[in-house]
Amino acid sequence: MTVATNALLENRGARTVLVATRGFTDLVEIGRQDRASLYRLEASHPPPLVPPERRIAAEERNGPDGELTALSNEETTRIVAAVSDAAAESVAVCLLHADRHPDHERKIGDALRAHFGTKSTCRFRTKSSAPSASTNGPPRPEVDAALSPLLSGYLSRMAESCEQIGLTEPSIMQSSGGLTSLDEAAGHAALTVLSGPAGGAAAAALISRAANEPDLLCFDMGGTSCDVCVVEDGAVRETSGKRVGGRPLALPMVDIDTVGAGGGSIAWQDSGGALRVGPQSAGARPGPACYGHGGTEPTVTDANLFLGRLDPDRPLAGEIRLDKGAATEAVTGLADDLGISPEDCALGIVRVADAEMVRALRVMTVQRGLDPRRFTLLAFGGAGPLHATGIATALGIDQILVPVDGGVFSALGLAAADRRRDEVRTVMLTEEGITAATLERLIGDAGSVSWDLRYRGQSFELTVADLSGDPARLRERFEEAHERRYGYRDTDAAIELVTVRRRYVQPGPDPKLADPDHEPVSGPASIDLEQATLYLPNGWRALTAGSGLLRISRSQAM
């Protein structure tokens, strides 16, 4: 589901008003004052979802230890009137230090609901009721407020349709890779901005366990983009926040990188005469030239068809029949512009697309201290198996897993995902305050707990998971992580506990995956997987591997 994602990328949402402590209303625009691109001075961040004229300054103030300036009834009434004058569809209330002292936020929220009524189109998203109350990188309540009405309407219509045909109320995939209720997702749309690729990541974790492959490097290549992620020790690597559409979101998310390289990515010549691929896409309509829907520009799919890696006599999903003549014409036109043969042009298109995906995979591995050669490549999505061997070769990987149902792999992840709820709270404890009793209280009844720790004086934290409740063990886990990341540990320095992250999980079903019915095949060959095509060049061989998988190996590695 990409309702929230697309709205965020397109900078659209409900008409939103932001209520913030006086002096802090412009933080949504100032941000952290970092550049969008370090060496491109003209590059800028996306405009805030709430313009200056819809930001309301509240005369109130809390400090870390409590109230400094009271929120009067008169001020609350003024805020409600200002929201009404702004014709708001949604309101984000984000007051200073509300993570510790939420009373002012609640008072404003209650007054807004009392004035507009529960049936009003005006919806309210307050930070203190959001799933994250971390002071180090807020959950961007204006994003939540702007997107939630859009998602709420979509989910309401879907729930009604499900009820009419006798289906139960749907659960919704979160960016974390876990499911949540429809009401929770409708109320906090920011939770779902990566819900689409998170489904594929959840399926990758399932495959990791089923195939006894604890370390997987995953890439999901569709028509417009390619999403990549890492599975280590059977678990998808996560992050406590990242930028989506140029906007920082401090929420638990699957650690995914995306590049604009898909089957529909358009190949073109840049001003310097070089061959480029993407990020522009032909989309589904008109689509690649070979779809016959009016597209004329060459795409990655056209190049694969020209090279014989796709069968023109086999229709794609949706009964789309491929026109090799149209693909040849599109590729030849670009080849003439570049002054090369059509064959070289088609091969170049595929190699440039592969290079984009390899770059993203190296960001997730080499740039983070991981050797990609120790991973098995998991390739899925409608176009993933076509490019699997090329990417594996570039990364020095000898083993590839391909799900035979890879075209609907994300749906498998949705069906098997755990139901999950995450809580994030800033605690800001010095080492003297990190006692066994305090850790036990913070752990509570959570199924798993992670801690954001740092040496005193540092600006950034490292997250470590630990359920022991032992301060000495927690410090040791942090110093191990610090040494892995930065190459050293400082045993004499004091540490600080900044944030606690609690997770509550209800395990999902354990689907049984049927073994594929395929004979061993050696390259060069193309294998029809119904929802995708697997291309094997010379030197690669495919065998059935159980659990709905094909294992692709280099001949010399067998």
* 405-433 b/e (C-beta count within 10 Å ≥ 16 → b): bbbbbbebbbebbbebbbbbebbebebee
- Cβ-contact 418, 198 below 8 angstroms: no
Q: What is the mean pLDDT of the chain?
A: 88
Q: Which of 279, 341, 333 is nearest to 307 (CA)?
A: 341
Element (H, E) at 200: helix 195-210
pLDDT at 303: 96
For 553, phi and psi rounded to 5 degrees?
-130, 150
Q: Are 310 and 291 in contact (CB under 8 A)?
A: no
Reported as a pLDDT band with limits 50, 70 and 90, residue 556 is: low
CB 22 within 8 A of CB 153: no
CA dihedral sign of residues 269, 272, 278, 284: negative
- Rounded to an integer, the average pLDDT of 434-459 is 93
Helix, strand or coil for residue 433?
helix
Please tell me the predicted confidence (pLDDT) of residue 224: 81
Mean per-residue pLDDT for 533-557?
87
Residues 6+ apart with CB under 8 A from 541: 520, 521, 522, 523, 552, 553, 555, 558
Instruction: Specify the pLDDT at position 407.
Output: 82
In contact, 62 and 22? CB cutoff 8 Å:
no
Token reading at 470? 């032992």
pLDDT of residue 130: 45
Which segment of 14-18, 158-162, 219-223 scores lowest on mean pLDDT?
Answer: 219-223
pLDDT at 12 over 70: yes
> Cβ of 75: how many Cβ atoms within 10 Å?
17
Convert the pLDDT of each residue in 198-209 to its tens digit: 889 989 998 998
Per-residue pLDDT reduced to its tens digit, 267-324 = 999 999 999 998 888 887 888 999 988 889 999 999 999 999 998 988 776 677 899 9
The 8-class DSSP code of residue 513 comes to P
Task: Give the pLDDT confidence score for residue 138 in this predicted structure.
Answer: 40
Average pLDDT over every residue of 24-45: 81
Q: What confidence tens digit (pLDDT) does each residue in 358-382 have?
A: 999 998 999 888 899 999 999 998 8
Contact 521, 555 (CB under 8 A): no
Give the confidence band of 140 by pLDDT, cuts at 50, 70, 90: low
Alpha carbon distance 224, 226 (integer Å): 7
**Which pLDDT band, with edges at 50, 70 and 90, does 122 fall under?**
low
Summarize pLDDT for 330-357 with one digit per residue, the tens.
999 999 999 999 999 999 999 999 999 9
Please choose, from the candidates 319, 311, 305, the residue with its C-alpha nearest in 3D space to the C-alpha of residue 349: 305
Q: Show the tokens assigned to 283.
A: 């989309």
pLDDT higher than 90, residue 512 = no
Instruction: Give this prediction's pTM.
Output: 0.80
9 HSE (CA, 13 A, CB side): 7
DSSP character string of 123-192: EEEEGGGSSEE-SSS---HHHHHHHHHHHHHHHHHHHHHHHHTTPPPPPEE-TTS-EE-HHHHHH-GGGG
Strand partners, 217: 230, 377
What is the pLDDT at residue 120? Answer: 61
Q: What local confidence, expressed as pLDDT, does residue 338 receive? A: 95
Maximum Cα–Cα distance across the chain = 79
Instruction: Name the band, by pLDDT with cuts 50, 70 and 90, for residue 1.
Output: confident
Helices (H), 230-383: 300-306, 324-338, 342-364
Please count the CA atoms within 13 angstroms of the CA of 363 that sit on its side-chain side.
15
Q: Where would I find the H helices in 366-486?
A: 384-395, 409-416, 436-443, 471-486
Cα dihedral: 274, 280, 286, 292 (round 10): 30
**Side chain identity at 536, as an amino acid letter?**
L
Percent of the chain with pLDDT over 70: 95
Which among 387, 399, 358 has a CA at the least distance from the CA of 534? Answer: 387
Instruction: Give 137 or 236, the one with higher predicted confidence.
Output: 236
**479 confidence band (pLDDT: 50, 70, 90):** very high
**Per-residue model confidence as pLDDT tens digits over 481-503:** 999 888 999 999 999 999 999 99
- The whole-number average pLDDT for the span 522-534 is 89
254 or 515: whose pLDDT is higher?
A: 254
pLDDT in tens, 375-431: 999 999 889 999 999 999 999 999 999 998 888 888 888 888 999 999 888 889 999
CA atoms of 490 and 488, how far apart (whole Å): 7
Structure tokens at 409: 């792999």
What gap in Å lies between CA 208 and CA 232, rounded to an integer? Answer: 9
